[in-house]
Amino acid sequence: MASGKKKSKRAPPGPRSDHKPISQKELAERLGFSPTTISLVLNRCAAADSIPEQTKDLIIEAARKLNYRPNLLARSLRTRRTYTVGVIVPEVSEGYTATVLSGIEDVLLQEGYFFFVTSHRHRADLLDQYPKTFLDRGVDGIIAVDTPWHHKLPVPVVTVSGHNKVEGITNIVVNHARASLLALEHLVKLGHRKIAFIKGQDFSSDTEIRWKSTMNAAAKLGVPVSGKLSAQLEEDSPSPQVGYKVIKKMIKSGEPFSAIFAFNDVSALGAIRALFEAGLQVPEDVSVVGFDDIQSAAFQHPGLTTIRQPLHEMGKTAAETVLRRIKSGHDRVHEIVVEPELIVRESTAIASREATRSRVLLSRA
């Protein structure tokens, strides 16, 4: 029989003696809250922000002690959603991808979404297969990072650094024209004219647009671009080794240069190592500018001057956009452009007459 006493809301009930999972309805009855309140808190809904933290802590603790397990099937049938997002990346490593993923993760965890992360390693068969696999898994939406996208799917798709114009796709991109201009203006103001350029791999989504933007910026600033001082990354690897090999080969050619604008920070770090092994100092002999501003860029010796694209924020924007599209069913925004920032550290300096030492060393390579 019901006692008629008001149920306490100050302390979570003790664990059940039978260790069986408790239902949401039973949990609500034990705590004296409405099932709606329980649902909002445990599903991490935005509407739960108005619920006092003490109440949320009490519900979460009680759910843990009473072995509450959400009925995901019932929830999916009710809302017609699986609360799952598929995320596809080229590979998972320190740098660009990891930073974008951290932003995606922040939003999806906050909103109570589960997500799959899979890497395609630039394999054509996987690029074709994984979107279909995600659909088979019942995802509500897909986020593709630095991945060419040509699929038209029945679920919302958001790409980060995607440049394909596909119906139903929202692309999140950095302002490459502005980024290239910031980098080259910085080097030109320091007096650099003999600048070496590192182009990205063919498979990278940003390679062509960034190279085109860099060439346009060079033409605007009157910076000569020499084929002897232009090289492309070739290996399918996230290691600094690819940048190291490119600059090592350029040094051996004997063509003098006083600065390098690299495709990304990782290749810039490899370039710095190659310069060091050749007896060249950074920035005294050669200045180096990277791109991305990965977390380790500030902690190198010297600290890397770079173009910061807000990778974490781009990841968060991608997740927020795909969730908004899942909830609304449509979104007319086809492209979201974010602005870059020049971050000046110790890897760049004025091109002084002493920098001719680099030319002497290069000619002896």
What are the domain boundaries of the chain? 1-70, 81-174+312-338, 176-310+343-363
Tell me which of 168 and 184 has the higher pLDDT.
184
pLDDT at 359: 52
Return the CATH class of domain 1-70.
mainly alpha
**C-beta of residue 315 within 8 angstroms of C-beta of residue 280:** no
Superfamily of domain 176-310+343-363: Response regulator (3.40.50.2300)
Nearest to 114 by CA among 138, 90, 98: 138
CATH 3.40.50.2300 fits 81-174+312-338, yes or no: yes
pLDDT at 8: 42
> Quick one: residue 247, left, alpha or beta (phi over 0 = left, psi -120 to 50 = alpha)?
alpha
Q: C-alpha angle with apex 38: 35 to 42, nearest 5 degrees?
A: 140
Helix axes 24-31, 35-42, angle to 10 degrees: 110
Residue 206 has pLDDT above 50, yes or no: yes
Residue 89 has pLDDT above 50, yes or no: yes
Q: How many CA atoms lie within 13 A of 326 on its CB side?
A: 25
Query: Which helix (H) or strand (E) is 219 found in, with range?
Result: helix 207-221
pLDDT band at 329 (very low <50, low <70, confident <90, very high): confident
- Cα 340 to Cα 95, 111, 209, 249, distances in angstroms: 17, 28, 15, 30
User: At 352, which amino acid appears?
Assistant: S
Cα separation, 340 vs 181, in Å, equals: 10
The count of other CB atoms within 10 Å of the CB of residue 363 is 10
Residue 271 has pLDDT above 70, yes or no: yes
Interval 154-162 mean pLDDT? 93
The predicted-structure confidence for 283-310, as pLDDT tens digits, reads as follows: 999 999 999 999 899 999 999 999 999 9
Fold match, 1-70 / 81-174+312-338: no
**Choice among 156-165, 172-181, 219-228, 296-305 with the minimum mean pLDDT:** 156-165
Tell me which of 131 and 352 has the higher pLDDT.
131
Q: C-alpha angle with apex 251: 250 to 254, nearest 5 degrees?
A: 95
Nearest to 33 by CA among 61, 4, 64, 59: 59
User: Helical H runs in 111-206?
Assistant: 124-136, 176-189
- The pLDDT mean for the chain works out to 86
Cα separation, 204 vs 146, in Å, equals: 7
